[in-house]
Amino acid sequence: MKIFFAVCFLFITTVCFSQTKPGLKLWYNQPSGTTWENALPIGNGRLGAMVYGNVEKEIIQLNEHTVWSGGPNRNDNPMALDSLARIRQLIFAGKQKEAEKIANQAIITKKSHGQMFQPVGNLQLAFAGHGTYSDYYRELDIEKAVTKTSYTVNGVTYTREALASFPDRVVVMRLTASKPGSLSFNASFTKPLPKTVVQTTAAKELTTTGTTMDHDGVKGLVNFKGIARIKLDGGRLQPTTPRSLLKMLIPPPFIFPLPPTLTITTM
């Protein structure tokens, strides 16, 4: 049985290149828990994700490189140009302290000193009955930029692989189980920003739409939208309540993209 996730956010893409030696991997024999520094990063220069590799509740933190607090603004000091000549004179005259005092008043900004990079949200995958497991392993293949998590529950081996594709502009996760019909879980998308709406469209797409936060006196004006398009190979897709849930009753094999909020069961 296989499951595929993909999520795309509607922004301009940047290019990121890296060079690594073949065969390099980071590997661990325990999950990340809730510690962000323990999660494994993937990205394509525009989209990024931190994969925690937890068993019962997987966490995939998502971000996009233009999702920042605030919005377009000027934070220059209007007194700077008129004061520059005097500051130079004082410096050349050896009066550094006096020059520094004027610079602090006339050049240093009086408002916004910068904005914050903000997360789009966390995709959480909850696997009921996976509290007791064995043979746990997770890794980040640095050469391939792919994360992998595997473990065994009741004789069934579960594997998750994730990557961020540059040409396809998506973050993808594939979930597999060694025994058909064994993969069943609930997926939900958290909303860390207050101005965010998660909903299901008439085309049975899941969207997360929001605006970034105000910060340092600058109003949040960066709008973002993530779209999850679901493709099934067998089974059916059914929007349900509460919130924006999609209930998926799917016999293996099946394929669907990374959703903000989903409930998945197998037949």
Instruction: Say what the pLDDT of residue 3 is.
Output: 53
Say if pTM beats, i.e. exceeds, 0.75.
Answer: no
Count CA within 13 A, CB hemisphere, residue 135: 10
Instruction: Say what the pLDDT of residue 233 is.
Output: 52
- The pair of structure tokens assigned to 185 is 């879980």
- The pair of structure tokens assigned to 65 is 């490189």
Q: What is the mean pLDDT of the chain?
A: 80
CA 76 vs CA 73, 105, 152, 236: distances in Å: 9, 12, 58, 56
Q: Is residue 160 packed enough to be buried (19+ CB in 10 Å), middle (13-18) or exposed (0-12)?
A: buried
Instruction: Say what the pLDDT of residue 256 is.
Output: 36
10 Å Cβ neighbour count for 243? 12
More confident site: 252 or 218: 218
Q: Tell me: pLDDT of 32 over 90.
A: yes
> For a pLDDT cut of 90, what percent of the chain falls above it?
47
pLDDT band at 259 (very low <50, low <70, confident <90, very high): very low
Percent of the chain that is helix, strand, coil (3-state, to 5) = 10, 40, 50
Torsion sign (Cα): 86, 91, 94, 95 = positive
Instruction: Say what the pLDDT of residue 40 is.
Output: 98
Q: Tell me: pLDDT of 38 over 90.
A: yes
Q: Are 116 and 193 in contact (CB under 8 A)?
A: no
DSSP string of 47-111, one letter each residue: EEEEE---SSEEEEEEEETT-BSS-S-----TTHHHHHHHHHHHHHTT-HHHHHHHHHHHTS-SS
- The pair of structure tokens assigned to 51 is 């994969």
User: What does the pLDDT look like over 217-246, one tens digit per residue?
Assistant: 889 999 988 776 666 555 456 665 544 444
- The pair of structure tokens assigned to 188 is 């939900």
Instruction: Say what the pLDDT of residue 43 is.
Output: 96
Q: Tell me: pLDDT of 186 over 90.
A: no
User: 244, 267, 266, 253: which is closest to 4 by C-alpha?
Assistant: 253
Mean pLDDT of 27-33: 97
Residue with tokens 């696997």: 127
User: 69, 77, 156, 146: which is closest to 114 by C-alpha?
Assistant: 69
Instruction: Say what the pLDDT of residue 95 is.
Output: 95
Q: Tell me: pLDDT of 266 over 80.
A: no
Range in 57-71, 125-139, 152-166, 191-205 the model is least confident about: 191-205
Instruction: Say what the pLDDT of residue 230 is.
Output: 64
Q: Tell me: pLDDT of 124 over 90.
A: no
Question: Directed axis angle between helix 80-92 and helix 96-106, to 10°?
Answer: 170
Mean pLDDT of 104-124: 84
Give domain 2-69+115-266's CATH number out of 2.70.98.50, 3.30.70.120, 2.60.120.310, 3.40.190.10: 2.70.98.50
10 Å Cβ neighbour count for 18? 8
Domains of the chain: which residue ranges? 2-69+115-266, 76-110
Instruction: Say what the pLDDT of residue 244 is.
Output: 44
Q: Tell me: pLDDT of 261 over 70.
A: no
Q: Are 21 and 7 in contact (CB under 8 A)?
A: no
